[in-house]
Structure 1
Amino acid sequence: MSKDDLPSESDYALVGKTLPEIAAPELPYKPPMPKSFRPKIALIGAGGISFAHLDAYRRAGLDVAAVMSRTLARATTRRDEFYPDAIATDDFESLLRRDDIEVFDITPHPLERVPLVEAALKAGKHVLSQKPFVTDLDTGERLVELADRNNVRLAVNQNGRWAPHFAYIREAVRAGVIGDVISSHTAVHWDHSWIVGTPFEKIDDLIFFDFAVHWFDFLSSLIGARGTSVYATRNRAAGQQAKPPLLAQALVAFDGGQASLVFDAAIKHGPLDTTFVGGTLGSLASTGPNLGEQSVTLTTEAGIARPKLEGAWFNDGFAGTMGELLVAVEQKREPLNGARGNLDSLALVFAAIQSAHTGQAVKPGTVRKVPGI
């Protein structure tokens, strides 16, 4: 072997060549809105997160005609705060009978939500379901089939899909900018201790099921149903007060690639949120201290692009999920956040939870229900 055949110092140090700065491609990452379809919307459930839904809809100029809650006072408070001309009610059935309300945004927790979604679909309403969509895949498939039979659209409020950095990365992948995806690595380090003393503490696999579902959904938006195995772990962080384990991580193998998802939910100082997606023709990276402050870079053979993105996860993500549903209705197509595709995301989540409990790799789709629920 000659000297010229040996690796260079740069090879050992993983030093890449200097690339020029180039213009970032223009991609449709912002929340979509229909051209002319402006139906009346009913918000079902006026709990904690409902403010984000209503604020996003008001900013987008959408027409919320009713706010419903089992506790009328909650519905009234939310109505007065965001849509004073809407009605506030505790009567779900009365809203089903209103022909002028075409879209239902249904927000309660999964087990309470399923019969509400089912009733709305049977009444011919288009539905945006809160996430996580369902606790078992068979129920999810049944609801998807019910929507098809009634010729209505069923979407899921995976609002992370319209976080600006996630949306730009997804659209770049869909446009073929980085070629075929061969890797996706996301890591979130933050403090989730606010759940202490709340009902969220009752969810044993809180990190995977309630929080990480956004990141599994992001992965699913890149690879679809290509996942072949999931290996995951979870652990309690030293000194944590919350009941559910706050540390969780997963490795996902998929045809032609690999992915990792890391969640450190007990970091009180120095939060960090990073994303890397590698492809055969380039890579995309995003980093920042939190979900709302992210800087994206796109690297290809041509150079490095740094798109200047507008908006924030809260509340552009909520505008995006509803807006995409309305556009899909207008264009008579499946929503990008459709429930059918969301089952691929949940298959990854369920497999991760099962793996974390058993210590074994799990094939996505073989675990039909959330373990422990």
Structure 2
Amino acid sequence: MGSKSDGYGLSDKKGSGKIEVPKINFLPQKPRSYNPKIGLIGAGGISDYHLKNYKLMGLDVVAIANRTLSKAVALRDKYYPKAKVYDDYQELLNLDHIEVVDITPHPEDRLPIIKEALRSNKHVLSQKPFVLDLDEGRGLVQMAKERGLKLAVNQNGRWAPHFSYMREAIKTGIIGRPVSVDFSLQWDQTWIENLPAFEDLYHMVLFDFAIHWFDIAVCFMQGQDPKSIYASAIKYDGQKYSPPALASCIINYDQAQVRMAFNAHTLLGEEDVTTIVGTKGTLRSRGPGLNDQPTMEIFTEKGMARVPLEGCWFKNGFQGTMGELLLSIEEDRAPSNSAENNLKSLELCFAAIESANHNRVAIPGQVMKYEPNRS
């Protein structure tokens, strides 16, 4: 065995100096002049964050539809007092002056609404997860293309400050090609106890939550195709809710690997860490939660920098998704959060759930549907 003097197992401390913080444009963008009339369909809890941030952006929401009209009225009065309210979404879609609709209901209810919105010649921002069947998703993508419409997905995690900075930094080549990505999250999600929408969702972690991490993994690993995936989900005695609180996943590429570890029942000492190691450097973000990642670090051969981050997930994220859709309409290009792009994220998610359900390796792209229950 070597001694400490041999330097066995010790780094030579390359890049231990300080460098200037690289200028990376990671904040949400919005159009220069395009500000269309927007309609919101679905006034559930998440819609509050949508409208709060649209108001901050100066966007023009003119109509809100929800089958329980009182919910639409409450949101209208809180954010857009002049907006019209409807209990039938078709009435909203019949309004010719509305160009963009934000559709927030759950996937089963959302699919026919998206179809009707496209038939009504509206650009669409769909809530995540986009669809539960890849073929249905591809059909919607084709339908939008045939009508010359933009169809985007509200994968708002892409604009969380730390994820957005990392995504854009990778594009500059500052850390070279990513060879490993590690997500390690320990958080307290016991607030879902006795809430049927979550208690009845077996893969609450891998599906409802981790969809954001599958999505950002696709962004980080752009240009590299996943070859296989292995995932697991574990429930333990003493949990306060029914779905497994522990989950993990390994995604293999030809020359890279993405690893995810989740504990959604961390009552003390919550932490969220993301580390991306590339061929030329490393990016790392650490904080007590996904909405609280105040700084991140960049390590290169020239040295390291601590990057102050502006904003938070629940602000930047919701501004980023709609802002990118509107900007893509103004510039007549595909949005970076297009439904077509998001299908790659769903391929990872569906394959991970297939793997966890059957305790075997799955191939992304070969699992076409979301399988909710363990076989």
The one-character-per-residue Cα deviations of 1:89-126 (angstroms, maximum 9, x if unpaired) are 11211211211100000000001000001110111111
Computed over aligned residues only, the root mean square deviation of the Cα atoms, in angstroms, reads 1.5
Aligned partners of 1:349, 1:138: CA distance in 2, in Å?
Answer: 15
In structure 2, the partner of 1:223 is 221
Aligned partners of 1:324, 1:256: CA distance in 2, in Å?
Answer: 31
Q: Residues 14 and 301 of structure 2 are in contact (CA less than 8 Å); yes or no, is this contact kept in structure 1?
A: no
User: 5 Å matches for 1:247-266?
Assistant: 247-266=246-265
Amino acid at match of 2:355: S
Aligned partners of 1:123, 1:255: CA distance in 2, in Å?
Answer: 44
Q: Residues 14 and 303 of structure 2 are in contact (CA less than 8 Å); yes or no, is this contact kept in structure 1?
A: no
The one-character-per-residue Cα deviations of 1:14-49 (angstroms, maximum 9, x if unpaired) are 563461111111112101100111001111100011
Q: Residues 189 and 266 of structure 1 are in contact (CA less than 8 Å); yes or no, is this contact kept in structure 2?
A: yes
* Deviating 4+ runs (over 2 angstroms): 6-11, 13-18
Question: Are residues 300 and 72 of structure 1, via their aligned partners in 2, closer, same or farther at CA, if it must alter by over 3 Å?
Answer: same
Amino acid at match of 1:278: V
Aligned partners of 2:16, 2:213: CA distance in 1, in Å?
Answer: 30
Using the size of structure 1 for normalisation, the TM-score is 0.96
In structure 1, the partner of 2:364 is 364
Unaligned runs of 5+ residues in structure 2 are none
User: 5 Å matches for 1:287-326?
Assistant: 287-294=286-293, 295-326=295-326
In structure 2, the partner of 1:122 is 119
User: 5 Å matches for 1:196-275?
Assistant: 196-198=193-195, 199-224=197-222, 226-275=225-274
User: 5 Å matches for 1:55-70?
Assistant: 55-70=52-67
The one-character-per-residue Cα deviations of 1:320-346 (angstroms, maximum 9, x if unpaired) are 000000011111111111110101101
Amino acid at match of 1:314: F
Aligned partners of 1:236, 1:40: CA distance in 2, in Å?
Answer: 46
Aligned partners of 2:359, 2:321: CA distance in 1, in Å?
Answer: 35
Q: Give the CA deviation at 1:204.
A: 1.2
Q: Give the CA deviation at 1:298.
A: 0.7
Amino acid at match of 2:91: S
In structure 2, the partner of 1:101 is 98
Q: Residues 10 and 16 of structure 1 are in contact (CA less than 8 Å); yes or no, is this contact kept in structure 2?
A: no
Q: Give the CA deviation at 1:255.
A: 2.6
Amino acid at match of 1:212: A
The one-character-per-residue Cα deviations of 1:200-225 (angstroms, maximum 9, x if unpaired) are 21111111110000011010111246
Unaligned runs of 5+ residues in structure 1 are none
What is the SS of the residue equivalent to 2:307?
coil
1:110 aligns with 2:107: yes
Using the size of structure 2 for normalisation, the TM-score is 0.95
Greater alpha carbon shift after TM alignment, 48-57 vs 6-15:
6-15
Amino acid at match of 1:243: S
Q: Residues 248 and 263 of structure 1 are in contact (CA less than 8 Å); yes or no, is this contact kept in structure 2?
A: yes
What is the SS of the residue equivalent to 1:283?
strand
1:329 aligns with 2:329: yes
Amino acid at match of 1:275: T
